[in-house]
Structure 1
Amino acid sequence: MTRTATAAVLREYGAPLRLETVTVPELRDDEVLVQIHGVGICHTDLTAATGGVPVPRPVVPGHEGAGVVTEQGSTIVVFDLGAVGTAAVMTARISLCENIIVVAPDPRRHGLARSLGATEVLSPDDHDDLGRHLRHLIGGGADYAVESVGAESVIRQALSSLTSPGVCATLGLRAGRNPVSIDQTHLLSGRTLTGVIEGDVDPHRFLPELAALWRDGHFPVDELVQTFDFTKLDDALAAVASGEIIRAVLTFDIRGNT
């Protein structure tokens, strides 16, 4: 019996996603069938939809799904989940960091940053030399900096905010190639610039810990999420693209659907 599902399909770069009925293929040995209950919209999805990240087309975007496995093949499958960039603030608080400083150009995010644990929130446009100001504010520089924009200027600011030695993690995705040049002096003074993918963690250990932190009220990701019915996909995409919300999650009427 042929099974079908409703999916948001991207057929051409820059074109609107369309809700279409698609055929669910037969399950391979190394696959599972998941009944999706919710899926987050990541900025990577927006970048891919405009061609910034090459993807085959037609394609059903999305990589932050959560649901229930309804069927499985004969081979064990490993699952992973997407992450929320703002979680760095909550993680720093949980890790008992003394100073948690957020640099955010959007004033709508400042109050949220403080409520999640930031001890100081700055606008990058308020300081000519942001790195120097941060070193002065902290008293020598930060031990760690998390750069989630991917812009060369922001990476340079993050590196210059560090103490020596210090570590800057960069994880912001830009459309297309993104060459970045930095002053080698940062590296010679013991500073490190490193890339991060999917949190650089073992999901078998980390995800249960993350769920426990959420359950105990230490990782309130609920405050970062606004839900949209799947039929309101265009509204959700617009809200994410405008920066109006932190994370949109599409929800589904799962009665009789996969």
Structure 2
Amino acid sequence: MQIRAGVVEEVGAPFTYTDLEIDAPGPGEILVRIVASGVCHTDASTRSGDMPLPLPGVLGHEGAGIVEAVGPGVTSPAVGDHVVLGWPFCGECKHCREGEPRYCLSIAPALVSGMRFTGENAGTSGYRRLDGSPVSGHFFGQSSFATHSLATASQAVVIPDDVPLEIAGPLACGIATGAGAVLNTARPQVGDSIVVYGVGAVGLAAIMAAKNTPATTIVAVDVHDSRLDLARRYGATHVVNAGSTADVVAAVQEIVGGTADYALDCTGAIKVVEQAIDTVGMLGTAILIGGASAGASFTADHFRTLFGKRIVGTLGGSGRSQQLIPALLALWRQGRFPFDELVEIFDFEDIEGALKASHHGDVIKPVVKMPEPTA
């Protein structure tokens, strides 16, 4: 089948739009017509070489669309179902069996090998140029910067038909990452304090989620007043502008009345990571979410960490997409998680514009919408 895709030819190259051939779905696979796909920092960092996807390849990992075909053995989803494509997982390793598929032991080949990672076609790409030469696909199991995606059936989350697919894609990664870090990883208790460093799409999703917990002090830290205003709108009880505050950690600790219970770094900036770690004290938890450059490292005070301080990472919001995404949609319907207000739509062939607008802070969550199919 012929599709249209945004291809990155080499590290640092722009997206080029070209026709490709895609395989029919094999056992355990589905073919999804992508309606829209979120644009994420991970797409930019992969293009720049920080994630080892072989190039040329098709990026995109926040796809939402309609199932057009299913492979042998697939009982769900069905043709015609509306789906969000979550993260792929093997379903067989220790972590998958324990309910943590984000940490599947096959996560590296599942996300960035550019090939199928499981099944009888493992080690092959379902994407190729019209001359037959292969192109890396299967990025995060989906390569959703394309009109169609070949995905594993197990990663698809069926959603109600009345949910706009244009807003649903970011629930696969960016929005779920922030919300899940609060709801699945932190799980704040009555009266707890939670501090969110960096309130872009991920951080604002964390703020929205924190508002739905018993935490009573929710602090947003950023360098942009416009984003801090949004943080207040979506649930922050206090804000700190790091650009105009001499000692950010001291300012946060003054607000919470000591060390915080939880601090989330959504920036991936090492200085900010270390501030988040310093913000929490005994039995406090620093949660690392933002992706730093490959090879980056941070330091933490060893003695202070001995006193029960926890420093943990989280991927994609942890837990299961099949549980988290429907829950977030239920909160959205109730007016308690208005993530749709963060979304701005771009044309499919303007991925570059979407990335630039996000990088410059002009938009919070860009989404590219695919062209309507022709008869």
TM-score range relative to shorter protein: over 0.9
| Whole-angstrom distance in 2 between the partners of 1:229 and 1:241 | 17
CA contact (8 A) 1:7 1:21 kept: yes
What residue is the counterpart of 2:238 in the other structure? 120
What residue is the counterpart of 1:11 in the other structure? 9
CA contact (8 A) 1:227 1:251 kept: yes
Q: Does 1:196 align with 2:314?
A: yes
| Whole-angstrom distance in 1 between the partners of 2:11 and 2:56 | 10
Q: Does 1:252 align with 2:354?
A: no
SS for the counterpart of 2:254 is helix
Unaligned runs of 5+ in 2: 75-152, 157-171, 176-201
What residue is the counterpart of 1:48 in the other structure? 46
Unaligned runs of 5+ in 1: none
Q: Does 1:78 align with 2:154?
A: yes
Per-residue deviation at 1:238?
Answer: 1.4
Alignment TM-score, normalising by the size of structure 2 = 0.65
CA contact (8 A) 1:135 1:163 kept: no
> What is the RMSD of the two structures over their aligned residues, measured on CA atoms?
1.6
Q: List structure 1 runs of 4+ shifted beyond 4 angstroms.
A: none
Q: Does 1:106 align with 2:104?
A: no
CA contact (8 A) 1:30 1:73 kept: yes
Per-residue deviation at 1:42?
Answer: 0.4
| Whole-angstrom distance in 2 between the partners of 1:159 and 1:9 | 38
State how many pairs are aligned.
255
SS for the counterpart of 1:122 is strand
What residue is the counterpart of 2:254 in the other structure? 136
SS for the counterpart of 2:58 is coil
Alignment TM-score, normalising by the size of structure 1 = 0.93
1:151-190 to 2 correspondences below 5 Å: 151-190=269-308
SS for the counterpart of 2:239 is strand
Q: Does 1:145 align with 2:236?
A: no
SS for the counterpart of 2:285 is strand
Counterpart AA for 1:191: K
Counterpart AA for 1:204: Q
Per-residue deviation at 1:208?
Answer: 1.4
Moved more, 16-25 or 179-188: 179-188
Q: Does 1:232 align with 2:308?
A: no
Counterpart AA for 1:93: K
Moved more, 119-128 or 66-75: 119-128
CA contact (8 A) 1:35 1:254 kept: no
Cα deviations by residue, 1:225-258 (Å, 9 ceiling, x for unpaired): 101121332221211222221110011223238x
Per-residue deviation at 1:177?
Answer: 1.1
| Whole-angstrom distance in 2 between the partners of 1:15 and 1:168 | 35
